[in-house]
Chains A and B, each alone.
Chain A
Amino acid sequence: MMNGLFSKLLRMTVLASKQLIRHRVRTLLTLLGVASGMFLFTTVQTMQRSLDKSTKLQASDTTLVVYRENRFCPETSRLPEFYLDEIARIDGVREVIPVKIAVSNCGASLDVITFRGVPADRLSNYAPEMKLVDGSFEAWRARDDGALVGKELAAKRGLKPGDAFEAVGVRVVVSGIVDSPLPQDNSVAYVHLPFIQQASKHGLGVVTQFNVRVNDGADLDAVSNLIDDRFRSETEPTSTQPEKAFFAQTARELIDLISFTRWIGLGAVLAVLGLIGNAVLLVVRGRVKENAILQTIGFPGVAVAYLVVCEGALLGFGGSLLGVGLASLFLKLRGLSFGNEGQVMALLPDASVLLSGMGLALVLGMVASLVPAWTAMRRPIVESLRS
């Protein structure tokens, strides 16, 4: 019985598809409208999702950032490099690395280049998850002005090993392209610590921050307290936070900006709803007699309603395929990343955003068609035939 019902639903779906395919211009225009809305929605959702990934702490997170107390910008956070050994001795610390950050723009920006100066001999221990996809570590170690460039930054700037590029008044040569499961690493360039220290006005011995890996995510609070307690009476006291909380604090401008886009996403959803609703309503109005004929030849009202809802759902789903597909292609090709106060957030569409976009458009298509479907199924046949 279910098989028979499924088979009938499938035939009705094919019939609805024929109605759409054979009214090409109208369908194409509606699809383009839906696609535009879903493009916007996907872009906004990607921003929200990337922000969530960068700021919401998870149990598996084990990274702390040690910053100069009451400083929120890499230009003003200065810590002595010798803190390194003190931090490494604290219980619960697995690995620590000093980082000097040089950034092309401290404010919120879509086009920012961030250099992270790190000791060459510590990088592979500190970030074993980082994989080289092109070039070599040896070439980087051997060259003072060498840079390991994150894959997103490399793709955005069209960089490959051997290329030279300049930013923040610093000229470097690409030694390798790296890929990391941590999105931030893919949008920055790693250079030698002494090289970037010498290039800055603060000179050797001064770093922006320390990145600390703890043994267990549950120890984050305890270890951060121990670190801050250790340096509380020093002339450069520290403020230590989980990396994502640090991001949320320092990149407030960015977060405010992205939070606002939530409303744009909602607007896009409402626009899609209205567009499909209007398109389906016009279809039903133009097809009053046709629906009456279907009922005359034995289609029950619910089958006519199904056809209407099916058309709305197909318009929603088809438009979302186009919009979501174009948005992911756009974000992938453009390699967009937001930078703020030296923190970088890459806009990478993930499967959950794409699937939720398509699912949402399908549901929107169905919801927008409910009223026209109800109208179509309840209208008396004789009255429709006379219209």
Chain B
Amino acid sequence: MNENNNVLIRCHELTKNYKKGNRLVTPLEKLDLEVKRGEFLALMGPSGSGKTTLLNLIAGIDQPSEGVLEVCGEDIGKLSRSKLARWRAAHVGYIFQLYHLVPVLTAFENVELPLLLSNMSRRDRRERVEHTLSLVGLDGRMHHYPKELSGGQEQRVAIARALVASPELLVADEPTGDLDREAADSVLQLLHQLVEEYDKTIVMVTHDPRAAERAGRLLHLEKGRLLETEAG
């Protein structure tokens, strides 16, 4: 595979700005970044440094103001809302800090959500969901509602939901931020396993140095610019 094909995310002079009242806010400014396939990248930085903005742009839930943003071979800055939705469904899984499971749906139904708009049959969906829940160690909790699960288990369900459509890229916004140490370790171990055994590419925003240590590469952001690059 040549070098270009091996790059999953490419940002060139990526800028994001928005208006807050009469003020123009620029959380990201002329940022250049490349992330290779199978990489586990951690983004750290103080609040307001642009970490989550970058993550949202990479996940295709926000649009850049300027610059180029190619993810999974697509210039996603130029896609319409509907194309971007289809692109997200096929290429990205998003893991939130607060899990954001649908409270009235069981673990199984939450994980099945991304497959509802696919052309998969009911049986195929069931098999895929069961397999994914077993991958995250929750095969015994399939029919539990989120309120019946611990924080760590809820985050595992959220990871299963992000994984179920087999995306190449997982983005995680402080996935351990709301967990105790034991649950956090277990979730980080799972993310690491996804990179090592399933060739997933992960971009993770974190404040937790212990979480960042698990990543293969660590980037620091400050005032919308990359400061330094470290080996994880």
A18 touches B116 (CB 8 A): no
- Scan B69-96; emit 1 where CB is below 8 A from any A CB, else 0: 0000000000001100110111001101
With A and B bound together, what is the CA distance between A258 and B82 in angstroms? Answer: 51
From B173, which residue of chain A is reached at the shortest CB distance?
A385
With A and B bound together, what is the CA distance between A19 and B102 in angstroms? Answer: 10
With A and B bound together, what is the CA distance between A299 and B60 in angstroms? Answer: 13
Binds B, one of A8-16, A119-127, A341-349: A8-16
From A4, which residue of chain B is reached at the shortest CB distance?
B119
Q: Does B1 have its Cβ within 8 Å of any Cβ on chain A? A: no
Specify which chain B residues have a CB less than 8 angstroms from the CB of A299 in the assembled complex: 85, 89, 113, 117
Q: Does A381 have its Cβ within 8 Å of any Cβ on chain B? A: yes
With A and B bound together, what is the CA distance between A14 and B180 in angstroms? Answer: 36
With A and B bound together, what is the CA distance between A105 and B112 in angstroms? Answer: 67
Specify which chain B residues have a CB less than 8 angstroms from the CB of A300 in the assembled complex: 81-82, 85-86, 117
A291 to chain B, nearest CB (A): 10
- Scan A278-299; emit 1 where CB is below 8 A from any B CB, else 0: 0000000000011001111111
Tell me whether A298 and B82 are in contact in the complex, defined as CB-CB below 8 angstroms, given that A381-B61, A382-B62 are known contacts.
Answer: no
Given known contacts A4-B119, A298-B88, A382-B61, what 12 new A-B pairs fall within 8 Å (CB)? Answer: A15-B116, A22-B104, A290-B100, A295-B85, A297-B114, A297-B161, A298-B90, A298-B165, A299-B89, A300-B86, A300-B117, A381-B61
Specify which chain B residues have a CB less than 8 angstroms from the CB of A293 in the assembled complex: 96, 100, 102
Contact of A298 among B62, B85, B96, B109 (CB under 8 A): B85
Q: Does B8 have its Cβ within 8 Å of any Cβ on chain A? A: no
Specify which chain A residues have a CB less than 8 angstroms from the CB of B59 in the assembled complex: 296
A386 to chain B, nearest CB (A): 9
Tell me whether A382 and B90 are in contact in the complex, defined as CB-CB below 8 angstroms, given that A289-B100, A293-B100 are known contacts.
Answer: no
With A and B bound together, what is the CA distance between A302 and B80 in angstroms? Answer: 13
Specify which chain B residues have a CB less than 8 angstroms from the CB of A357 in the assembled complex: none
A-B CB proximity, top 10 nearest: A298-B89, A22-B104, A300-B85, A381-B61, A297-B114, A11-B116, A293-B100, A298-B88, A382-B62, A296-B94
A311 to chain B, nearest CB (A): 12
Q: Does A301 have its Cβ within 8 Å of any Cβ on chain B? A: yes
From A20, which residue of chain B is reached at the shortest CB distance?
B104
Q: Does B105 have its Cβ within 8 Å of any Cβ on chain A? A: yes
Q: Which B36-74 residues sit within 8 Å CB-CB of chain A?
A: 56, 59, 61-62
Q: Which A281-337 residues sit within 8 Å CB-CB of chain B?
A: 289-290, 293-303
- Scan A355-387; emit 1 where CB is below 8 A from any B CB, else 0: 000000000000000000000000011100100
B85 touches A301 (CB 8 A): yes
Taking each of A8, A19, A298, which has the highest tally of chain B beta carbons within 10 Å of its own beta carbon? A298
With A and B bound together, what is the CA distance between A32 and B159 in angstroms? Answer: 39
Which residues of B come within 8 Å of A, CB atoms? 56, 59, 61-62, 81-82, 85-86, 88-90, 93-94, 96, 100, 102, 104-105, 109, 113-114, 116-117, 119, 161-162, 165
Tell me whether A382 and B82 are in contact in the complex, defined as CB-CB below 8 angstroms, given that A8-B117, A15-B116, A298-B117 are known contacts.
Answer: no
Specify which chain B residues have a CB less than 8 angstroms from the CB of A15 in the assembled complex: 116
Taking each of A290, A295, A300, A380, which has the highest tally of chain B beta carbons within 10 Å of its own beta carbon? A300
16 sample A-B contacts, Cβ–Cβ < 8 Å, listed by A number: A4-B119, A22-B105, A293-B96, A296-B59, A297-B89, A297-B113, A297-B162, A299-B85, A299-B89, A299-B113, A300-B81, A300-B117, A301-B81, A380-B62, A381-B62, A382-B62
B61 touches A295 (CB 8 A): yes
A301 touches B82 (CB 8 A): yes
A18 touches B165 (CB 8 A): no
Q: Does A201 have its Cβ within 8 Å of any Cβ on chain B? A: no
B104 touches A18 (CB 8 A): yes
With A and B bound together, what is the CA distance between A4 and B120 in angstroms? Answer: 9
B209 to chain A, nearest CB (A): 25
With A and B bound together, what is the CA distance between A170 and B81 in angstroms? Answer: 79
With A and B bound together, what is the CA distance between A23 and B161 in angstroms? Answer: 23
Specify which chain B residues have a CB less than 8 angstroms from the CB of A298 in the assembled complex: 85-86, 88-90, 114, 117, 165
B61 touches A296 (CB 8 A): yes
With A and B bound together, what is the CA distance between A23 and B145 in angstroms? Answer: 14
A12 touches B116 (CB 8 A): yes
A192 to chain B, nearest CB (A): 68
With A and B bound together, what is the CA distance between A293 and B59 in angstroms? Answer: 12
